[in-house]
Amino acid sequence: LLQAKLSTIRATMVSNNNIAKAAMQQRYNARHRATEYQPGDHVLLKRQTADGLNSTLGLSTAYTGPYRVSKKIGRVSYLLEHMDEDGYRSKTTAHINRLKPYYNRGEEVPSMGEEDNVTPTIDEDFATFTTALVQGDESKPTDQTFVPDFVNNVKKLATLDPGSQETIFCKELADKLKLI
């Protein structure tokens, strides 16, 4: 009697386990992007806490680097090389899950979505208007006269051409800033 109950319970557990595994696999595969690095690529390495020492990363950075990929070891591991400020080279191995691509500030970061197809549009009249509003009489944001010049430009532009978008914008801005 007990054996019969245990065998049905085990069968139910195996079935539930397989269902849970399939659901986890589906969730993982839905968001996972396969990445592969070539020798010479630069990557950042995710820090790990020291096991068993009850230490945390605290306020330190999550990634270190950049490291240069020396070669691929197996399917998912890479040999990385890092050069210190002193010129000392250190090598380490890392699993692909701990790596992310490094982009130098001068490099263009590749986009990962539909934004490749979007072309920015700028209303040239509005761009000229905002330039005139901010710059006005050749003042720059670092000048001490910038704020008074900005206020005067808003007041002046709020009185021009009553039907234009620029005038409406300046009037709304002046109202919000309580200039008029």
On the question of pLDDT at 161 being above 80, the answer is no
Asked if the structure places residue 113 within a domain, the reply is no
**Residue ranges making up the domain that contains 20:** 1-32
Asked if the structure places residue 67 within a domain, the reply is yes
pLDDT at 12: 93
DSSP state of 115: G
Q: How far apart are CA 175 and CA 131, in angstroms?
A: 20
Asked if the structure places residue 137 within a domain, the reply is yes
Q: How far apart are CA 61 and CA 140, in angstroms?
A: 36
Q: How far apart are CA 149 and CA 137, in angstroms?
A: 7
Higher pLDDT, 170 or 11: 11
60 lies in the same domain as 26? no
20-33: per-residue pLDDT in tens?
A: 999 999 998 888 77
E strand spans, the chain: 42-46, 63-73, 77-83, 89-95, 99-101
66 lies in the same domain as 89? yes
Asked if the structure places residue 6 within a domain, the reply is yes
Half-sphere exposure of 147 (CA within 13 A, CB side): 3
63-109: per-residue pLDDT in tens?
A: 888 899 999 999 889 999 988 878 788 899 999 989 999 988 776 66
Higher pLDDT, 6 or 154: 6
pTM: 0.46
* For range 54-68, the mean pLDDT: 76
54 lies in the same domain as 92? yes
Element (H, E) at 29: helix 2-31
Higher pLDDT, 133 or 174: 174
DSSP state of 160: S
Asked if the structure places residue 118 within a domain, the reply is no
Higher pLDDT, 79 or 59: 79
128-158: per-residue pLDDT in tens?
A: 555 555 554 454 444 444 455 666 666 666 6
The SS3 call for residue 157 is helix
Nearest to 166 by CA among 139, 119, 132: 132
86 lies in the same domain as 47? yes
Q: How far apart are CA 50 and CA 144, in angstroms?
A: 52
97-133: per-residue pLDDT in tens?
A: 899 999 887 766 665 555 555 444 444 444 455 555 5
Asked if the structure places residue 2 within a domain, the reply is yes
CATH code for the domain in which residue 85 is found: 2.30.30
53 lies in the same domain as 98? yes
Number of domains in the chain: 3
48 lies in the same domain as 99? yes
pLDDT at 157: 67
